[in-house]
Amino acid sequence: MKSLASIPQLGTGISYRPHFSSKVFQHKAEIDFLEIVADHYLDASPEKWHELQVLNDHFVLIPHAINTSLGSAEAPDESYVDKLASLIEFIQPPYWSEHISFSKINNIEIGHLSPLPHTDASIETICKNIALVQKKIKTPLILENISYLVQQPMHQMKEEEFIRKIIQESGCGLLLDLTNLVYNAANHQYKEEDFLTTLPLDSVIQFHFTGGIFKWGRWIDNHAAPTPPEVWNLMQALTERCNVRGAVLERDDNHPDWNILLEDLRKASTFMKKNNTINSYR
């Protein structure tokens, strides 16, 4: 397996959705790479497969999986992992990503990423499943922190400590979703700065940024609003402390003029270039 250190500097990219494919090609020069939802291509029709081939010919693609359910206290679905392995083999990305969560158990499909209790048992479980998946997928894996609304009673440690242990014990990289972090901090009353100091920042390979909405008295990360100032501030703090290889803007809906999105990419790129001291992979 390749090491995290071998991952090249990718720059700034966008989370790809088919409904804006023409825009992505139109602004190709300003988009360094694309993050694709791996699940959209696992049972791909010939047309979808063709779309993937075209994207892969023109962009560096990073597969972002959403249904491996690494945190489930059961083995990952074998056929799902096989399909994911084939996709990653075809794309040959520098790394792929999944979430620190569970989305199914005992044949109950929840339909969304659900938080794990911050316990030693959860850490052992997710590391066990990562090891199983890595038997079939040799490409480096990075793990994303999720946003969550439900607090669970049996936490044995804080979330940042939980993530740090998973990263250290699994050897995976970290995909830090800055918006999830800011919204979790607001919803569950903690300081994102404290969170950042506990994380193993040298393992942060990529970050996500976007905006969401305030609904039902909570901040919800719906990928459909401009990036809020708190996220930009956190991005600055993060890039001052570590060499992140890639930044991805996740904007699925409610698109403004594309020049505004591209301006966001340029702003993130400026943070990364200004603060990164290691640029040997470029």
Partner 1 sequence: MSYNQELHQWQIQLAAWYTNAALREDELELHKHGMSAEEVNIFAEGLKRKRLHQVESLLPFSFAKHSEYLREKFLQYSQQERLQGLHLKHTRDAIAFASWVEEWVPADTQTLLRWERFLLRCSLPEGNFYFHQNPYRLFKQKASDSVDAKILRRKEWVIGFRVMKKKAWKIFHIPLPF
| Residue 72, phi-psi category: left (phi > 0), alpha (psi -120 to 50), beta (remainder) | beta
Q: Which of 3, 22, 57, 111 binds partner 1 (CB under 8 A)?
A: 111
Could you say whether residue 229 binds partner 1 (CB under 8 A)?
no
Beta bridge partners of 174: 143, 204
Could you say whether residue 153 binds partner 1 (CB under 8 A)?
yes
Could you say whether residue 152 binds partner 1 (CB under 8 A)?
yes
Instruction: Specify the pairing of strand 218-225 against strand 102-105.
Output: unpaired
Both tokens assigned to 17: 């959705």
Cα(277)–Cα(282) distance, rounded to whole angstroms? 12
Stretch 23-62: interaction string toward partner 1, x if CB under 8 A: -------------------xx-xxx---------------
Q: Which of 154, 189, 257, 277 binds partner 1 (CB under 8 A)?
A: 154
Which one of the spans 10-18, 24-32, 104-112, 269-277 is the region binding partner 1 (CB under 8 A)? Answer: 104-112
Q: Which of 75, 213, 260, 278 binds partner 1 (CB under 8 A)?
A: 75
Both tokens assigned to 94: 């520098």
Cα(47)–Cα(51) distance, rounded to whole angstroms? 6
Residue 106 or 280 having the CB closest to partner 1: 106
Could you say whether residue 73 binds partner 1 (CB under 8 A)?
yes
Both tokens assigned to 195: 């969170």
Q: Which of 20, 89, 21 is nearest to 54 (CA)?
A: 21
Judge whether 252 and 223 are in contact, CB under 8 Å.
Answer: yes
Residue 213 or 278 having the CB closest to partner 1: 213
Number of residues that bind partner 1 (CB under 8 A): 41
Please report how close the Cβ of residue 105 comes to partner 1 at its closest, in angstroms: 4
